[in-house]
Structure 1
């Protein structure tokens, strides 16, 4: 509610103003009263109000003098002037000072209420402008913090921006942390990308509630959706306050989103120049680890650096046995094989990610090999969103069962012409392929041939060729050391940039991202 100070040297006028209208109904309340301008200034010292309603003629200090003094201290306060008689000079000076209205005594209730409604609209517009200014400031600060963490901002620009945005540069300790909101296939957080700046803003408020003197916390969302935290302090000693702050933020996010949240604290550094390195260590740790369960917890990249090393070795899979299970159509046995493949006996809360991702990709590709026209989008695209062992196992089962069901469905009967087209793609996918070329070989109109292929295969001829080429390219990228451009050329794409676009379209990830997911030991 908006606060009001009534100022008049006549007590009856003050009492009358208290009851002249229902202030509460107008979202306002009388905070205090004063009998002259000097008394009003004393009461406003340290306790500003939203509105001052003042008489213009008072002993010791006039209403206009009071307005000048208050405006110098608090420019956002609004004023209504009361007067027993109309005086043009007073009206003119009041307008110059920016008062809301000049009301004659006795006060007209309708005019007072109209003035109040006008002020309410002004306050609402000011609040919107302030929110917009705050949000613009925060968006700019988030952008600068992201670029600082990624080392993509010039040093001179950063120093200028940091001073403007109150980013600390003179502390003796800087430490990065990350809060990851887990949204595996079985943990969906709706519209989280629009929510992350608000989460970061609230985390900063919560984390800053109880911190030692000389310490600061800044929070911002990064491009991968993690909430990054900057801890700064004037001394190197004591990390307990960082754990407590991170724990409070983590618990609030978990309660607000209903998702699981993991916190990771990095290595402290002595100057702001080392903060990007601390960020990089935290992000690398998250990138290289897979979590065993969905409990929320906090880890330190230093003390837990060796966690999961026992499981770093490449996991061996009985792929021959798995191929037989796929061909035989034993769904329960396939599930059992997957469960055993990802079974881990460990008390660690996290494991090295690489061997489990490699095993998952091997199993999913083995199933995709059964398809005549495999679609890799459902294999590689979701992997970037997987953070838990259970989520990875769920993805593997989903992909394999979809492929398995398709493979054991009733086999399609292809016409001789379509069989020739499929066989031609298999043997000549490295060459330039088009319906026009094939129509000449089969002595059929290309439009008819395209419609026939679409009807029997369920996809266009060009899509089929691209998907087949991407399938061949995937195997070369995973099982050979050839450069990306060489792989593209070998499967029929001579333009490397076009190969990148097509691969991303059909596989869901770029060739570089694919190789990063599948790191051979």
Structure 2
């Protein structure tokens, strides 16, 4: 509802204006009345008004004087002036002040309603413009905060932008927290608009902020909601827990998602905020979360790096036999038993589970003639929970079993020769033209035959085979990436990187970071 103030020294005019149209139907309400400009200003001291309808000639303060004074106090307030025929010179001055319209007494209902409709369009356009301004401001602030957290902005630029964007730099304590949202199956990217969630979290968190402290929320590039706590250091930590808990509970109730929150250690100045951010992000990187609904973890006075975890390996001989026998229920039972044996309600170290999951998936992939390693490594970066990791392993293994235990395909002698040649000479330069000469076939015919029987092109098969060999070397040897590339037939290391990323879904460096060799 828009608030309207009626100002006229004639009571009958004021009464008539209140009933002349249906104000509610026009999304407006009469918020107050006054007999002159002085009374109107007194009323405005405790009232926000969108529209003032005022007479021109009044005792003590005229309508024009009132308009000049209100425009200083509230530039967005709109005005309609009421006048008689003999007051046109005053009306002209009112027009120069930017009033919406002037209406002759007695007021014409149609003209008043038309003026109101016009103002409503103006208000709507102004609201849209203000939303765009607010969103642009938030987008800019989020960008600067992300760069600050990642330390990709120089100190001078950050200080300048921080002053413009009202980012506090003079507090005594700075700490970061992160809220990670997982909806449904965490292999799938949840369709949630993180900036809106961050904006609402900031509003909720603000309810718990003591005097002298500030809180800012923004989404990072991985979809986590980062919380900046800036405090004087005299308030303790309790309010931060209350703020995080309130945000977490709101996200759970509003989205139905599971939420985990981690708060980092407090640093002595704003320069330490990136360190606190790295700490909470590293915690998520090092842990898989359990299947409990929520978690709120504090890293204060803890040294996560000092923790050691037992890396329990699956019984691979048994698993290989189950795969070859094609016993899907037994395979699923094996995977369930392995992942559920340590299924405590809380979190657990990520690396031991990742190591074992990669072992299980690669064991299945070795049964495929043209394995797609992107199915193994591509989704791993999106896995946050043990249940999500277990589901990924099952998905990869099921797909392998579906193809491996289908009816065996009989390859023609020519295609068998090509497969054997690739297996024995994949380190060398290979081409379909060279092979076709050895087999005394036309290259086009051999290529079509291979595509038909193997289900993939010759070049794709060669690259997939080489990437398979490279994967084992990267995981189970200490050879440098360039050495691995050369050993599997890639003499250009940059080309090897591109091909590996294409077929495996991750870079060689990312692959090694996912798997910790023992």
TM class by shorter-chain length? over 0.9
Q: Give the conservation status (yes or no) of the 8 Å contact 1:185–1:395.
A: no
Q: Per-residue deviation at 1:108? A: 1.3
C-alpha displacement at 1:502, in angstroms?
A: 1.8
1:232 aligns with 2:236: no
- 2:317 is the alignment partner of 1:349: no
Are 2:470 and 1:498 equivalent residues in the alignment? Answer: no
User: Given the alignment of the two structures, is residue 262 of structure 1 paired with residue 256 of structure 2, yes or no?
Assistant: no
Other structure's SS at 1:206 match: helix
Q: Report the secondary structure of 1:224's partner residue.
A: coil
> What are the superposed Cα offsets for residues 488-512 of structure 1, whole Å, 9 maximum, x if unpaired?
2322223323222222221111111
Q: Report the alpha carbon displacement of residue 439 of structure 1 after superposing the two structures with TM.
A: 2.6
Contact 1:176 1:282 in 2 (8 A): yes
Which blocks of at least 5 consecutive residues in structure 2 are unaligned? none
Deviation at 1:385, TM superposition (A): 1.5
CA contact (8 A) 2:80 2:100 kept: yes
Q: What is the rounded CA distance, in whole Å, between the counterparts of 1:23 and 1:37 in structure 2?
A: 23
Structure 2 equivalent of residue 485 of structure 1: 482
**Partner of 1:275 in structure 2?**
273
Determine whether 1:297 maps to 2:295: yes
Give 3-state SS (helix, strand or coil) of 2:5's partner.
strand
Distance 2:137 2:105 in 1: 45
Question: Residue 332 of structure 1 corresponds to which residue in structure 2?
Answer: 329
Query: Which stretch shifts more, 179-188 or 36-45?
Result: 179-188
**Shift of the alpha carbon at 1:187?**
7.6
Q: Equivalent residues in 2 for 1:437-476 (5 A)?
A: 437-476=434-473
Instruction: Tell me if structure 2 keeps the 8 A contact 1:173–1:236.
Output: no
Contact 1:381 1:508 in 2 (8 A): yes
Query: Deviation per CA, 1:307-348, whole angstroms, max 9, x where unpaired?
Result: 9946x1332332222212211222232223223322434756
Retained in 2: the 8 A contact 1:182–1:261? yes
Distance, in Å, in 1 between the alignment partners of 2:68 and 2:263 is 52
* Partner residue in 1 for 2:70: 70
Residue aligned with 1:220, SS:
strand
- Contact 1:184–1:386 (8 Å) recurs in 2: no
d(CA) in 2 for partners of 1:184 and 1:106? 65
1:167 equivalent in alignment to 2:167: yes
Aligned residue for 1:204, secondary structure, equals helix
| Residue of structure 1 in register with 2:182 after alignment | 182
For 1:341 and 1:17, locate their aligned partners in 2 and report how far apart those are by CA, in whole Å: 79
Residue 137 of structure 1: aligned partner:
137
Work out whether 1:3 is the aligned partner of 2:3.
yes
Contact 1:503 1:509 (C-alpha < 8 Å) held by counterparts: yes
Indicate the residue corresponding to 2:35 in structure 1.
Answer: 35
CA separation in 1, counterparts of 2:386 and 2:34?
A: 69
What residue number does 1:152 align with?
A: 152
- Give the whole-Å Cα distance in 1 for the aligned partners of 2:494 and 2:26: 64
The aligned counterpart of 2:51 is 51
Aligned length: 518
- 2:376 is aligned with 1:363: no
Q: How is 1:7-26 mapped onto 2 (pairs within 5 angstroms)?
A: 7-26=7-26
CA RMSD of aligned residues (A): 1.9
Corresponding residue for residue 100 of structure 2: 100
2:513 counterpart of 1:516? yes
After superposition, give the CA deviation of every residue in 1:229-261 in whole Å (9 maximum; x if it has no partner).
Answer: 011111244111111110010011111111110
User: Structure 1 residue 104: deviation in Å?
Assistant: 1.0
Gapped runs of 5+ residues in structure 1? Answer: none
Contact 1:470 1:503 in 2 (8 A): yes
Give the C-alpha shift of residue 183 in structure 1.
Answer: 4.1
Instruction: Name the counterpart of 1:433.
Output: 430
5 Å-filtered alignment, 1:396-411, equals 396-411=393-408
Distance 1:88 1:17 in 2: 21
Distance 1:57 1:329, change over 3 A: same
Aligned partners of 1:308 and 1:350 also within 8 Å: no
What is the aligned counterpart of 1:395 among 381, 392, 395?
392
Q: What is the CA distance between 1:188 and its match in structure 2?
A: 5.1
The aligned counterpart of 1:378 is 375
Query: What is the CA–CA distance in structure 1 between the aligned matches of 2:253 and 2:17, rounded to whole Å?
Result: 47
